[in-house]
A and B are shown apart, each in its own frame.
Chain A
């Protein structure tokens, strides 16, 4: 490992003049430097920003977008897009709320109260099902990803509204005598001082990172995102890869839905509206190319942190919500601009 790395630096110097190195470093680590800049700026602006407690709170906000963004990263690496994650988040939250209220089966005349873990598993399965619909539409029926997931976005949102008649489930705490307590655990509890939601994000990020960098599936994903026909002719099961990434994106959305409704201890059908756009933004800020084949878990997490820490920082120093929108938009455009700077030159020369 170290031997190859050393060989690389030697070649790197010979290929590009030394003076460019600082610029390159800034360009490639831009999400990281942006994050540092944001933290320094807001720490100077407000005494409340640079505290352990504030970072933990901000991170638990980031967890929602982070989970969505990790699923989105997989889809974007494949060269697709998943617009349905916000709605899937909403639908899964409502579904979890529905299960927590107890499932009344009329012809048996009984009401079931599934335990917390059953709720979690069933909700993830629902997310996987929505994702699979997306994946099958895109991979097997050749529906453009944008259109397929736009359709699912509407359908999922509609079902969530139908399930609750537009209302919100509020009693998610469960009852000890029914054995279904603990739903707020995901959103409120802490392990060693770290919110559970952040731990969930870290675990998913590590698994995701391992999957895309160290497994055959990860290699298939990068290859089919970079050039699908070449991957196909090299024996990569491109359709299976495609269905899998949408499925995993759905599961990530379901996890985010569970975390969000747990944090709010309520499940509303409109939860997560436009979150898919924030997730895409996080992936793009993290340096992934929307054309597929380029992007990392590390970058995506940094992207999610940039968005989360920026918007929370603006709230803390009392900037109006309207300005927050302007700032977030500017950061996204800047990120894409830098992406094209990084990939634009290397793509051209043959």
Chain B
């Protein structure tokens, strides 16, 4: 994983310069004058917390939005993109964080969507297929171009998105969190492709919340904070600590496991849980899993994508059916209970995808917070506004949501605050066991630390916490116990003194296939 710095192009040519770029939305200043260069055949990574302005900057570079002031200089020439197509015509393309693929069409048609190869007035499917096969070979993915996209795993779909961008032969390729859905092996391949592209002179602009990963690939680092650029340096001058310091403005620690109290009785008892693959596959996504969690204990479930963590949690919450096994909450068997009854009994889930499964976008911050505890402020038939407001105020304070008020639109919050709303919603139901599926996904390091602090506080008050993560650093931060899952089974169990290497080895990450 060591980059060969002496292999960099001899002429350190600047392809694109961003000069004093500023962007305001109404009174909100998303960007306040940002300067940086993109070098030919090199990787430039943008670091920054959520809301620091990374996405806005990327949208400006790719022509999706126009800056309020400042200029973009491409090949020494000042240009202005009015839309994404103009940017694409100049060789700048972007891979968005959210997939923009059609699940009903096959891989080939997705790759060539909107740029079909036309021969004699018809689409030349044979040629498209040949090129698609070449791309798949290049990306070392064993995917047939005629496979319908919806049959692929999320990680593979991400690869198709990347393949599409590569096939456009762009000079500047912007990647917004391309690895968030990829397995470790797929990340390896992606990085190899990135290196191939850079040797061909393609410039990459890379955004990731996974700092260590981004450091292994980048040549230059640009750090943004609150819409201003706080630092800009080549890779050889920087390290992880430097990035974090510039991102958050101080030294940061995710915390350590809360101590100084005794665990209570077993709060969650999972015995021999078996869940079959819902996609019709002939294997078990969770295979004979048994876990006990005591009141006040924080357990981290670590594993790769597809290890069965999400399925285990969704099954415990009542969203998936188990083929076999028991889930007991205290002494109560919850197997036959509905989701609502499990919440009532004290078992709550914070789902993995907060946009899709956690929040109701059409409702306000307050209504989202009170959604799971409507019964608390309903007397006889009608809801009580006063009681609801006090419940909402309490929640906003408890999870420290930064919002202009309970009536604000949920979409106006940053990712980290949205996540706090989802957590606050479930905490308002006074759970005994709280399951959190990747609670730190896509939120910045400051919000992460706040979320973990909150969980530690609640654990001290007797809440049993189970959270899953795919970042090793997070395992070791507040968990009393770390359970590593691999292919639906528990492959190892550690206490918080374990090393990162031990955990990663147990997850099957080092076993490349």
Contacts and interface: CB of A to CB of B under 8 A. Distances in A.
A22 B423 CA distance: 38
A226 B408 CA distance: 16
Interface stretch (A102-110, A210-218, A276-284): A210-218
Interface residues of B, number: 46
Contacts of A215: 378, 381-383
A15 interface: yes
Contact of A232 (B319, B383, B406, B412): B319
| Residue from B342, B357, B405 with most neighbouring chain A CB atoms (10 Å) | B357
A142 interface: no
Given A4-B407, A214-B383, A293 B362 contact: yes
Contact of A237 (B340, B358, B362, B382): B340
B367 interface: yes
Nearest to A294: B362
A326 interface: no
Interface string B378-404: 100111010001000000000000001
A337 B362 CA distance: 19
Contact of A1 (B338, B383, B385): B385
A342 interface: no
B88 interface: no
Interface in A305-348: 346-347
A176 interface: no
Nearest to B385: A1
Nearest to B425: A234
A51 interface: no
A191 B96 CA distance: 62
Contact of A233 (B339, B362, B406): B339
Contacts of B389: 4
A234 B371 contact: yes
| From A17, A220, A229, A350, residue with most partner B Cβ within 10 Å | A350
Interface string B314-326: 0001010000000
B26 A230 contact: no
B409 interface: yes
B359 interface: yes
A7, A232, A233: residue with the most chain B Cβ atoms closer than 10 Å: A233
A49 interface: no
Contacts of B317: 233
B411 A350 contact: yes
B321 to A, nearest CB: 14
A220 B378 CA distance: 12
B339 A223 contact: no
Contact of A227 (B344, B360, B406): B360
Size bracket of the A interface: 35 or more
A219 interface: yes
A11 B408 contact: yes
Interface string B356-382: 111111110001001110110010011
Contacts of A225: 362
Contacts of B408: 11
A125 interface: no
Nearest to B317: A233
A127 to B, nearest CB: 23
Contact of B361 (A227, A234, A237): A227
A129 interface: no
Contacts, number: 110
Main secondary structure of the interface of A (DSSP, over half): helix
A17 B319 CA distance: 44
Given A14-B27, A235-B344, A216 B374 contact: yes
Nearest to B314: A233
Nearest to A20: B26
A232 B358 CA distance: 10
B411 A349 contact: yes
Given A230-B357, A293-B360, A235 B372 contact: yes
A34 interface: no
A53 interface: no
A231 interface: yes
A226 B411 CA distance: 13
B340 A235 contact: yes
Contacts of A216: 374-375, 378, 383
Contact of A220 (B26, B342, B374): B374
Contact of B404 (A15, A223, A229): A15
Interface of A: 1, 4, 7-8, 11, 14-17, 210, 214-216, 219-220, 222-223, 225-227, 229-237, 289, 292-294, 346-347, 349-350
30 contacts: A11-B405, A11-B408, A17-B26, A210-B382, A214-B383, A215-B383, A216-B378, A220-B374, A223-B360, A225-B362, A226-B360, A227-B359, A230-B357, A231-B371, A232-B319, A232-B339, A233-B319, A233-B357, A234-B343, A234-B371, A234-B372, A234-B426, A235-B339, A235-B340, A235-B372, A293-B361, A293-B363, A347-B361, A347-B411, A349-B412
Given A15-B27, A226-B360, 15 more contacts: A214-B382, A214-B383, A216-B374, A223-B363, A230-B351, A230-B360, A233-B317, A233-B349, A234-B425, A235-B339, A235-B340, A237-B338, A293-B361, A350-B355, A350-B415
